Amino acid sequence: MSRPRVLAHARVRATVVAALLVPLAACSSNGSSGGPGSAKEKPDDRPVTVTVTPEGKQVPAGDPVRVEASGGRLTSVTVTDGEGRRLAGKVAADGRSWASDRKAVPGASYKVTAATRTEGGTAKTTNAAFTTAPAAKVNKVDWRPGADATVGVAQPISLVFDHPVKNKAEVEKQLRITTSNDTEGSWGWIRDWSGRDRVDWRPKAYWKPGTEVTLDARLNGTDSGPDGGWFVRDYTTRFTIGAEQIVKVDLDTHRLTLVRDGKTVRRIPVSGGTPGGDKRSWRGTAVLMAKEGTINMNSETVGLGDAYDKMVDYSMRLTWSGMYAHAAPWNAAWFGNANRSSGCIGMSDANAAWFYGQVRPGDPFEISGEETKGVVDPGNGFGAWNLSWAEWQGKSAVR
């Protein structure tokens, strides 16, 4: 009579075990229920945090604008100033940052629009704004040659600054030269005859005729350094190199020779500076700076007392210190015979008129002679050619 009771109890236990196993089998069968591990985690869709530098009002200028994103990616950034001009830049490959190519300039207002996308794919736009403090002092530039000029093969690109430039390397980095034939050249910092800071770019050798040259001085937003002030604009000029003309002046034989494309065009008898004192001429390479025509020459302006004060025709400036090539009919007895001028290279009216019509600014005057007062200084006109290439390169602030 006891055996049936044991069997009944066994059946009950089996039924209970089976009932407990069913939900376990269902939980692991196809992952379709909402239990743990049954579906992919939902992507993070939290908002992207955008940081803009600089920020605020009246912030210092002179740094690029930077935008950074955390918790997502930048898809585009637009920065415009108060006049609607865009400040170009690039989003980094990882989408986490953006930096402008140019610096924020003084006295400007900027609006920043950053388009972002979260990790979960939600797009959003963030806006920001800041202003920069105005420049307490502004530095300006006088440059040569002028736009669209055709110049000689020795013409440098020359920038003279109104105020001192202490941050020479930073300024030089903003100066870009483009040529039509990849001409090799270098910037060099010198002291202009006026006493101001100056930077010139000259080729390694004379320019090739026909070369097209562009200066792009992206100075806006660059700080000159203490006592110099800020640059608040860019400067651009384009010019072309004309025929190869070299003027050879031999003060020992008292002859000037115009050589064009390697061929002698004409020899002209001249008289240079009087030997033995301050009236001697300079030697070395002087570059024709300007054709000034008929001008008044006064000896007191060049430290020679009251030696002369007269109107002079066909005047061609070679240095800031007052050396010219020009007509000097009062010195006719000495042309081709002796040096008896007050430092200039004089010739007859007829030869001066012809020569004046042939040369152009940028043509080199290669002057030689025993009785001279020294070599033309780099800052006294365009005397950079009197330095070796290595010496000139050494005057660059960027090495």
Taking the C-alpha atoms of residue 159 and residue 254, their distance in angstroms, rounded to an integer, is 35
Taking the C-alpha atoms of residue 47 and residue 37, their distance in angstroms, rounded to an integer, is 26
Q: Which H helix or E strand runs over 171? A: helix 168-172
β-bridge mates for residue 190, sequence order: 198
Strands 281-287 and 364-368: antiparallel
Taking the C-alpha atoms of residue 273 and residue 24, their distance in angstroms, rounded to an integer, is 114
Taking the C-alpha atoms of residue 40 and residue 56, their distance in angstroms, rounded to an integer, is 43
Strands 324-327 and 364-368: unpaired
Q: Which of 314, 300, 324, 380 is nearest to 349 (CA)?
A: 314
Sheet holding 109-118, edge to edge: 56-59, 123-132, 109-118, 72-81
Cis peptide before 145 (omega within 30 of 0): yes
Taking the C-alpha atoms of residue 294 and residue 326, their distance in angstroms, rounded to an integer, is 9
Taking the C-alpha atoms of residue 289 and residue 382, their distance in angstroms, rounded to an integer, is 7
What's phi and psi for 89, nearest 5 deg?
Answer: -170, -175
Catalytic positions are 326, 344
